[in-house]
Amino acid sequence: MLLLAIETTCDETGAAVLEGASPDSPDALTAVPTIRSSVVASQIAIHKRFGGVVPEIAAREHVRQVLPVIDEALRQAGVTLGQIGAVAVATRPGLVGALVVGLTAAKSLAWALGVPLVAVDHLEGHLYACQLAHPDRSVYPCVGLVVSGGHSSLYACRGPIEAELLGGTVDDAAGEAFDKVASLLALGYPGGPGVERAARSGNPKAFAFPRAFLHDDRLAFSFSGLKTAVLYALKGQDARTTGVAPPPELVADLAASFQEAVVDIFVSKAARALDRTGYSRLGIGGGVAVNGRFRSKVEAMAAGRGVELFLPPPSLCTDNAAMSGVAFAKLAAGQVAGLDVDVTPGLVRPGR
Ligand code: KG4
Ligand code: ZN
């Protein structure tokens, strides 16, 4: 069966065609779909000059992009709308105006084609990217770590649509912290890639930045103190150096020390979640998982503990529609959405 998936939760318009088992086939619950096409139109160039995503502009841009992106995904997959057996869309969490655009397109198509509509949780999708990237291995049960622009959360995942939230951030998300520190250090938007680039020539031990809750049993994250520590290290407690461009070596050391603190926090909390659950698999999703330092430290941790690690390639870490292929598991479980389904901008516990 062919599935058309649509993604408009934030600032990427995505559409993908996936081929998987039909819901009534015996292996429907476990079969892993294949990605026939995945198209992403990024709005980064538009939001760049504002230093962050402007929700209203994001929504308007999705309106412009959603149909051409769907057309392109169908074209690349070599299929027509008439061959589509179900339509999936991420309905939560995200920016309300952005979510509404994808949902409206998905509802219209599902209704016009007379096929089921599946409402997907974007965070379940980020974790399902692990399964799409490794179709020959079972990802579940696993500890799921989502490190994205909007979320930093740990889950106990018994299956693709059975995730229990173990803990999240009490303030900023990881990607948000990267973006804010990048703005402080004038490293561009989005911040993650700029910080990583600058960090390459810096010393990760130059600044002993705080690692919130590191020795705390709670599976919680906090990045606001770390951000403030970078600010003070850059400008001094009284901001006396405001207006003076910092030397590049200082920027590199700050970027490297900040990145190291974030990576240490995630690696240590993921290890704690593995201990807590007793699971021997770790699945990771979200844009921050593109970070090379993060990837190598989490790989070392997993190897040291004999834990099976699932780390999708960068194109499946950042926002895309293919990860909403988790809809096949939902269809197999009979979770079809009505045409009255609405968006849920705030975080909800996956599986609910
Ligand atoms: O998952 P994603 O594409 O969107 C959300 O669902 O939020 O994540 C975007 C976030 C941005 O905050 C961006 O700065 C961060 O991922 N990011 C990175 C890197 N590449 C993207 N963070 C650290 N290092 C990177 N190389
Ligand atoms: Zn995302």
The pLDDT tens digits of the residues spanning 216-264 come to 889 999 999 999 999 999 988 665 656 677 899 999 999 999 999 999 9
Looking up tokens 């975080």 gives 347
CA separation for the pair 125, 76 (Å, rounded) = 22
Confidence (pLDDT) at 346: 85
For ligand 1, atom 3: residue with the closest CA: 318
Cα–chain center distance at 78: 28
From 43, 169, 290, mutation site for ligand 1 pocket: most ligand atoms within 8 A of C-beta: 290
Cα–chain center distance at 91: 14
Which atom of ligand 1 is found nearest the CA of 175?
A: 12
Contacts for 114 with CB less than 8 Å, ≥ 6 apart: none
* Alpha carbon of 176 to ligand 1 centroid (Å): 8
Average pLDDT over residues 160-168: 95
- Lowest-confidence segment of 213-227, 228-242, 281-295, 314-328 by average pLDDT: 228-242
In this structure, which long-range contacts are made by residues 27-32, counting pairs with CB atoms below 8 Å and at least 24 apart in sequence?
28/328, 28/331, 28/332, 29/159, 29/329, 29/332, 29/333, 30/138, 31/328, 32/131, 32/132, 32/135
Strand 84-92 versus strand 2-7 pairing type: parallel
Contacts for 29 with CB less than 8 Å, ≥ 6 apart: 159, 329, 332, 333
For ligand 1, atom 18: residue with the closest CA: 192
* Alpha carbon of 115 to ligand 2 centroid (Å): 26
Give the percent of the chain with pLDDT over 90: 88
Pocket lining for ligand 1, CB < 6 angstroms: 10, 148-150, 175, 178-179, 190-193, 196, 286-288, 290-291, 318-319
Phi first, then psi: give them for residue 212, nearest 5 degrees.
Answer: -60, 140
End-to-end alpha carbon distance in the chain: 25
Instruction: Bin 186: left if φ > 0, else alpha if -120 < ψ < 50, else beta.
Output: left
Evaluate if residue 352 carries a pLDDT over 50: no
* Alpha carbon of 291 to ligand 1 centroid (Å): 8
CA separation for the pair 339, 341 (Å, rounded) = 6
Helix (H, G, I), strand (E, B) or coil at 166: strand
From 148, 258, 319, mutation site for ligand 1 pocket: most ligand atoms within 8 A of C-beta: 148
The pLDDT tens digits of the residues spanning 6-44 come to 999 999 999 999 999 999 998 888 899 999 999 999 999
* Helix, strand, coil share of the chain (percent; to 5): 45, 20, 35
What's the pTM? 0.94
Give the percent of the chain with pLDDT over 70: 96
* Alpha carbon of 149 to ligand 1 centroid (Å): 5
CA separation for the pair 225, 230 (Å, rounded) = 9
Peptide bond into 313 cis (omega under 30): no
- Lowest-confidence segment of 104-108, 139-143, 211-215 by average pLDDT: 211-215
Confidence (pLDDT) at 331: 97
Confidence (pLDDT) at 86: 98
Confidence (pLDDT) at 229: 96
Q: Which residues of 299-331 are buried (b: 16+ CB within 10 A; e: fewer)?
A: eebbeeeebebbbbeeebbbbbbbbbbbbbbbb
